[in-house]
Homo-oligomer: A and B are copies of this chain.
């Protein structure tokens, strides 16, 4: 090995794991030994292995050494998409209409989850997203104006709350739940499907520090699929 690049080292390490030259659970040579083998600095080996450990392929512990992860599951990523782009990437045209926009005291169960006082006033938005004028997604959102005062001046008729928030609010954390739910009467009327239809639903609660930003329920029209790679 004369080519000493952390990328080629990563490729070779992955190959050895896949070929079971280095079986799952087994300890691999130390950084110093690998540096000798690949004829490079230890820092280079360190970077290669550190990144592989970040992806979950390796487990590393001081003194104990580096071993092939027993459960080498690589991790797929889910992001918070801008719905307009999601639609446009399918080659369709996006449009949204605001169904409701009101200031209401937040329901108790949400107040608790959002770490807000009971009966806190929040902005409640119901938005229907359309793809080629067909219902695509029903968005039911509560926004905490205490955390995000700017939202009150946002042009939400032009830019959907989803898009405005993704672009303007640097969130620090979010809890995401994916479920299948039968369409409620409300869902059914809005998305124009029979009541009880299987809907793909994403519920998401996002935070800046310890302050809740927004809680949203996204109910997708039938046929939607969320795809990702691992």
Contact = CB atoms under 8 A, between A and B. Distances in A.
Interface stretch (A67-75, A88-96, A112-120): A67-75
Interface in A59-80: 70-80
Interface in A197-230: 197-201, 206, 208-209, 220, 222, 224-230
A20 B148 CA distance: 13
17 contacts: A18-B170, A20-B170, A24-B170, A71-B167, A75-B77, A78-B230, A171-B230, A175-B228, A176-B228, A177-B225, A177-B226, A178-B228, A179-B226, A180-B201, A180-B220, A180-B222, A196-B198
In order of increasing CB-CB distance, the 3 nearest A-B pairs are A198-B198, A180-B180, A75-B77
Interface of A: 14, 17-18, 20, 24, 56, 70-82, 166-168, 170-182, 196-201, 206, 208-209, 220, 222, 224-230
Number of copies of this chain in the oligomer? 2
A168 B225 contact: no
A180 B198 contact: yes
A19 to B, nearest CB: 9
A9 to B, nearest CB: 17
A227 B177 contact: yes
A222 B182 CA distance: 10
A180 B200 contact: yes
A173 to B, nearest CB: 7
A200 B178 contact: yes
Nearest to A78: B76
Contact of A198 (B18, B75, B182): B182
A229 B225 CA distance: 20
